[in-house]
Structure 1
C-alpha cells in the first residue's frame, strides 16, 4: 500500500507500566486510545480511560480489565505482545489477505473489513477526528479540522488496488479533499453528475465512489458504493454517523436515496 501510516499504530517503543522507567507519553496515549476503542465494542469491559499520556492507576486498571476480558495474564503492564492484542482490529482491517479477484469486489471487501473492525474516531484533548484510525486514514494527521471521509475512501481504493499490484494514484492524487477528487473526475470524464445518475442508474457500479454535492464544484462528503438497488445505493463511509453526517464518528454502512440526494458518482473503471 502507498498509504501505510497505519503501521505506526501497531507498535510501542518499550514496555509501558505504572511508574515504568521507559514510559513515554506518546506510547501511553496510543495504549489509552486502543483501550477506549475496545470499550466502544465492549462497553461493559471497563477499559475506557482518559487519553492523557499518564500511566496512572486508572490506566493500569483499564489494562487489567482488558487482559481479563481477553483471558490473558492480568498484570496491568503493556508489553509489545499485549499491544498486539490491543491494536488487533487495525491489523485485521489492513493486513487480512483479500480473497476477491476482481477489483470492484476487492474494494467492497476491503471496506467491509474496516467496517467489521469498528473503525471509530476518538476525542483527544477536546479535539474530534482523532485517534489511531483517523491517523491511519489521514497519513498521521488528526484533529478537529481533519475531516477523514476521503482519507478513508482513498485508503480502501489503495488497499484494493495494491492487492492487484496497482497504484491508486493513477486514478486520482493522494488527497483528503472531496473537491480535489471531484475536479479530477470532471477533468478525466470519470464523474457522472447526479442528474444523469437519476436518469440512468445503471451507470453506478459497486466499488465506485459517491460525492455528495453542495454546489456545482463543491462536494462535502464521500464514501464507497457497495450495492445499488432501485433508487438506493448502499455505502460504507468514514467520518459519518447515524444521521449521515459528513463529520461524524465512525466507519458505517448506510443507505442513500440518489433520487433525493445530490450524489455524483466517480467511476473507478480505469483501475479495473
Structure 2
C-alpha cells in the first residue's frame, strides 16, 4: 500500500524545522499532513496531486490557524512541537469522509482526459478474450497487474489504462501494492485511506473509476468513467459483455447508474 503522510513522518530520523519562504520536500509533507488532519484542502491528500514545495503565504495562514487551534505559539515556523501536534491530529483524524474532491489542477485534468482517450480507444479496438480469462491481450493485462494465469481482469484493464495515461503525461501514478491492483474491494479500501474515494457517485467526473458494489468482499467490478450525464455515467469496462456482466469476455462501453446503493467512485 502507498504510504500515508503520517507513515512518512514516522519514518523520518528527525524532523526539520521549516519556515515561511522555504522550499523543500518537508513543505510537501506539511501540506499533506495538514490535509490529513483536516486543516487544509482535502485534495492535498490525493497522491495524484503534486502539491507545492514552497512555504507560501497561503500555507502560512493554514499553519497559523492550526497552531492557534492546538494551543501552540503562533509563528512563521513549524518546529518539532508543531510536527508532533500535527502527527497527533493525523492519528485521530477521520479518514475517507466522502466529500467530493476539489479539482486537482491542470496536470490531473490532463491525466483524466488521457484516461478517457485510452479507455475509448481500447473499446474501439474490440478487445476480446480467447478462452476464459485468456488470450494474448488479456494475459498481457494480467501480467501488468502481476498475475500469471487466468483470472478476472476488470481491474487489470483499468490499471493498464491508468498507468499508460500517467506515463504519457509524464506523471507519477499513485503507488499501490499489487494486491490493490487486483481486487476492487482492496482498491476501495486504499482509496478511502488516501481520501481518493467519493462515496457520493453523483460527484463523478470523466477519468474517475466506477466501482460496482456486490460480491463477497463488498465490491465486484470496476470500469473507467468516460462521461457523466445527470445520474448516469458512460463507462468502458474490461471482463464484461454487451449485457453488462461482471464476468464477460471483452471490453465494452456501458451506461451505468450513479447510485450510491450500487457503486462508489475512485479518483486517482
TM norm structure 2: 0.54
Counterpart pick for 2:184 among 178, 184, 201:
178
* Map of 1:117 onto structure 2: 125
Cα pair 1:182 1:191 within 8 Å, conserved: yes
Aligned-pair CA distance for 1:217: 5.5
Cα distance, 1:103 vs structure 2: 1.1
1:267 paired residue number: 267
Aligned partner of 1:136 in structure 2 is: 140
Shift of residue 173, structure 1, vs aligned partner: 3.2
Q: Tell me if structure 1 keeps the 8 A contact 2:156–2:182.
A: yes
Deviation at 1:108, TM superposition (A): 0.5
* Counterpart contact for 2:139–2:149, Cα < 8 Å: no
Q: 2:110 maps to which residue? A: 102
**Could you say what secondary structure the match of 1:168 adopts?**
coil
Q: Report if the CA contact (8 A) 2:211-2:222 is conserved.
A: yes
| Cα distance in 2 between the residues matched to 1:189 and 1:122 | 38
Aligned residues: 156
Stretches of structure 2 lacking an aligned partner (at least 5 in a row):
1-108
CA contact (8 A) 1:134 1:142 kept: no
Aligned pairs for 1:55-134 (under 5 A) are 102-123=110-131, 128-134=132-138
Matched, 1:191 2:197: yes
What RMSD, in angstroms, separates the aligned Cα atoms of the two structures?
2.1
**Partners of 2:158 and 2:206 in 1: CA distance:** 13
Give the secondary-structure state (helix, strand or coil) at the position aligned to 2:205. coil
The 1-side partners of 2:254 and 2:148 are apart by 24
Point out where structure 1 has 5 or more consecutive residues left out of the alignment: 1-100
1:260–1:185 distance in 2 versus 1, CA, 3 Å: closer
**Against the structure 1 CA distance between its residues 261 and 253, is the aligned structure 2 distance closer, same or farther, given a 3 Å change threshold?**
farther
Match of 2:213 in 1: 213
| CA shift for structure 1 position 231 | 1.3
Paired position in structure 2 for 1:71: none
Residue in structure 2 matched with residue 147 of structure 1 by the alignment: 152
Tell me which residue corresponds to 1:224: 224
Q: C-alpha displacement at 1:169, in angstroms?
A: 3.9
Partner-residue secondary structure (3-state), 2:162 = helix
Distance 1:215 1:151 in 2: 18
Per-residue deviation, 1:166: 2.1
Equivalent position of 2:166 in the other structure: 161
